[in-house]
A and B are shown apart, each in its own frame.
Chain A
Amino acid sequence: MRGATAVALGTTVALLGAACAGQGTGSQGGGDESSADTGTITWWHNSNTGEGKEYYDQVAADFEKDHPGTTVEVSAMAHEDMLTKLDAAFQSGDAPDVFMERGGGELADHVEAGLLKDLSEPAADTVDTLGAYMPGFQVDGASYALPFSIGVVGFWYNKSLFEEAGITETPTTMDELYDVVDKLKAAGITPASVGAGDKWPAAHYWYYNVVRQCAADTLDAAIADVDYSDPCFVKAGETLDDTLATEPFNKGFLTTASQTGPTSASGLLASGKVAMELAGHWEPGVMQGLTEDGEGLGEDTGWFPYPSIDGQQGTEGAQMGGGDAWAVSQDAPDVAVEFAQYLLSDEVQQGFAERDMGLPTNPTASASVSDPSLAELLEVRDSAPEIQLYLDTLLGASVGGAMNDAIALQFAGKATPQDVVDAVQSAAEADQ
């Protein structure tokens, strides 16, 4: 008996030792391998179902064919899983060679921690091609990720419900939007849904008001100087108060989820319970997943950009959005940079667009987008004089989270426009 226990204990200790040793050599081994020009590169992406997954497997195989001696290890995982695994990988110092970044403050944090390779030199051509979309993925003028899909946020609406309420034209100013709300209500239709339970969908209203009310350099200066005292930020909140005063949202919106289940904001729009929702380019895909026939709103899907505000200081036609980019980890081999560039090539981006996997950033691929409402959105994006990154992404998790919480409080009638600005200011100071 005692002998058996001793053996068991010995085995446990040995296993523990092996596990620790494994960890040590694992990370060292990775480092050694990485310094070679050819070899294995690891690639994590989130197109883990159907056509998208097949396409990316094909892309990796094509790259291997063109680069003999290189193996691309593809890991396709669900988005949330990928984020969790990435965080863990960053902590353990064992990040994949090519992976997704979302730009802004989060990317800047990763750069500061020395996790990302500077792509300005090795991928100069691609950076040039993507010119307009690069700012959100640069730190101090250096480029750290290559955006492959950038979308803008706008109102997705139900064409037949708008028709039922006698609305013939989509609104272009806030006052027109409020008219639309009144008409929908008069017709007995809930005008809009918002997933304020998740906070960020509600916060998008405030962000867009900031993009409208504040000149672009005002926001840049505020972030750089950590000084949000410009009155335009309070004005943005006041515009939000005006919107909230029209009571456009679904009942119980304070705890409504954004995308999960039929009672989520997207579910309500997909099932015709509300007429519109402010959301990004992912919305048609999400709605398709939430309806039994897999069609979402189908033919009834419409899109219009966030209206302008009278007397706004922001650039006319500026849009707010964001997207995903390919980043290369600091100690990845050079061939990983080549792979990231290949992912942004005309050929790969066209295939990406044809399959409606996102909104391509390579201009040659724009014409390949087949979905009509996405094509409409793409037109607005491409003609936008500037695209402001989602403010929470831009400011990073710490400040962005505090900001979203404060905006959610304003939606609940528990915070004034000034309170929201104060919350952002103090979180930004604490983050210094």
Chain B
Amino acid sequence: MTDTVVRSADRARARSADRRPEGRRGRAGVWRQRAEIALFVTPALALLVAFIVVPIATAVQMSLYRWKGFGPMVDFVGLRNYVSVLTNEVFTDAVVHNLIIVAGSILLQLPLGLAIALLLNRKMWGQGLLRTIIFVPYVLAEVIAGVVWFQLLQPQYGVIDTMLAGVGLHGPEQGFLGTPEYALWTVLVVLTWKYLGLAVILFLAGLQGVPDELYEAAQLDGATWWQVQRRITIPLLGPTMRTWGFLSMIGSLQLFDMVWILTGGGPANATTTMATFLVNEGTKRQNFGIAGAASVVLFVIALVLALAYQKFILSRDSKEGGR
């Protein structure tokens, strides 16, 4: 959509440049172009406004009121909702949990994904099948994967506890999800299982872009397999890894479904994320003002981190591209 708009705008601009000397008729042409641009941009803009701008504005408005979800929004409280969100230990813990998930996802999935991608990039029997198997969890709906893992992880009756018992081991007394100390790490493991496929697929795609000549040259120079990976493959995979890291970070900051199904944010708030916090405040407790404030804070945190990532990490790629 945007592509079309940009292209048509370019074309229009080129046309207007031709016509400029013609004076009056040129001015009519300018208006025509403007009408044309407006025509093409309006549908996209309307959707953007209806589904992104208006909801954000509503959330900001909501965050300044005390509102229970029905009746007119009249009880203006200024920034009080923000104070109560930012001083709420459950919310600050939720921010920490989000950051742990951000760091944990990257630290776990980057080396694992890279290793698997390198393995799957070698010519071997059953390559396609293995790639599919790795990618299946990512394709699975998050809610379905969550329900399956919730049942697998049931203490006493779940498959994982039964298997552990079979080899003489005991899971934690209250189960992996029911023990506050383990719950967040368990969620992280499930998330890794779920999203590893995406990392692998992206890395594999990136590997296709590494020119064969480099490998041949390295072989002629007598480089070992390890040296080839370290000096050629991984550095050339940099842009892919950085893009993947960005996607992973944003996903982790907005994490909701998996946590909601596995633990609901419990036990004892051990797995609350910003998103589960605001849904709980909004739909369960009808504190829509506080939910609004939390959503604005989440938006700001995500925006700041995204911009910082763009500036400090992704900018290298765009500069390289410019060269």
Q: Are A398 and B286 in contact (CB under 8 A)?
A: yes
Residues of B contacting A: mostly: loop
Point out the residue from B69, B84, B175, B268 that lies within 8 Å of A87, measured CB to CB. Answer: B69
Name A's B-contacting residues (CB within 8 A): 2, 5-6, 9, 12, 87, 90-91, 109-110, 112-115, 196-198, 250-256, 261, 263, 273, 396-398, 400-402, 405, 408-409, 412-414, 430
Please give me the residue from chain B that is nearest to A401 by CB atom.
B285
Measured in the bound complex, the distance between the Cα atoms of B320 and A318 in whole Å is: 76
16 other contacts beyond A12-B46, A263-B151, with CB at 8 A cut-off?
A6-B39, A9-B42, A12-B43, A90-B70, A109-B68, A110-B70, A114-B71, A196-B267, A251-B156, A252-B175, A252-B177, A255-B262, A255-B267, A256-B178, A263-B154, A401-B285
Which residues of A are found within 8 Å of B70, using beta-carbon distances? 87, 90-91, 109-110, 113, 115
Please give me the residue from chain B that is nearest to A92 by CB atom.
B70
Point out the residue from B43, B174, B180 that lies within 8 Å of A253, measured CB to CB. Answer: B174
Instruction: Quote the shortest CB–CB distance from B254 to chain A (angstroms).
Output: 22
Q: Are B68 and A398 in contact (CB under 8 A)?
A: yes
Q: Are A255 and B175 in contact (CB under 8 A)?
A: yes
Point out the residue from B68, B264, B269, B286 that lies within 8 Å of A255, measured CB to CB. Answer: B264
Point out the residue from A2, A87, A397, A413 that lies within 8 Å of B39, measured CB to CB. Answer: A2
Instruction: Quote the shortest CB–CB distance from B238 to chain A (angstroms).
Output: 40
Which residues of B are found within 8 Å of A400, using beta-carbon distances? 285
Point out the residue from A263, A401, A412 that lies within 8 Å of B180, measured CB to CB. Answer: A412
Given A397-B284, A398-B286, A414-B180, A252–B155 Cβ distance below 8 Å? yes
Measured in the bound complex, the distance between the Cα atoms of B183 and A287 in whole Å is: 29
Given A113-B70, A252-B155, A254-B267, A5–B39 Cβ distance below 8 Å? yes
Please give me the residue from chain B that is nearest to A397 by CB atom.
B286
Instruction: Quote the shortest CB–CB distance from B222 to chain A (angstroms).
Output: 56
Q: Is B239 an interface residue (CB 8 A)?
A: no
Q: Is B263 an interface residue (CB 8 A)?
A: yes
Point out the residue from B154, B183, B269, B284 that lies within 8 Å of A401, measured CB to CB. Answer: B284
Which residues of A are found within 8 Å of B154, using beta-carbon distances? 252, 263
Measured in the bound complex, the distance between the Cα atoms of B285 and A413 in whole Å is: 23
Interface CB pairs A-B, < 8 A, 21: A6-B39, A109-B68, A110-B70, A113-B68, A114-B71, A197-B263, A197-B267, A198-B264, A251-B155, A251-B174, A252-B154, A254-B174, A254-B179, A255-B175, A255-B264, A255-B267, A397-B286, A398-B285, A400-B285, A401-B280, A408-B267
Q: Are A430 and B84 in contact (CB under 8 A)?
A: yes
Measured in the bound complex, the distance between the Cα atoms of B282 and A87 in whole Å is: 12
Please give me the residue from chain A that is nearest to B175 by CB atom.
A252
Q: Are B266 and A412 in contact (CB under 8 A)?
A: yes
Q: Is B157 an interface residue (CB 8 A)?
A: yes
Measured in the bound complex, the distance between the Cα atoms of B280 and A397 in whole Å is: 11
Measured in the bound complex, the distance between the Cα atoms of B175 and A109 in whole Å is: 40
Please give me the residue from chain B that is nearest to A396 by CB atom.
B286
Please give me the residue from chain A that is nearest to B267 by CB atom.
A254
Which residues of A are found within 8 Å of B43, using beta-carbon distances? 9, 12
Kindly identify, within residues 259 to 285 of chain B, every residue whose CB is under 8 Å from any CB belonging to chain A.
Answer: 262-264, 266-269, 280, 284-285
Measured in the bound complex, the distance between the Cα atoms of B66 and A398 in whole Å is: 11
Q: Are A91 and B174 in contact (CB under 8 A)?
A: no
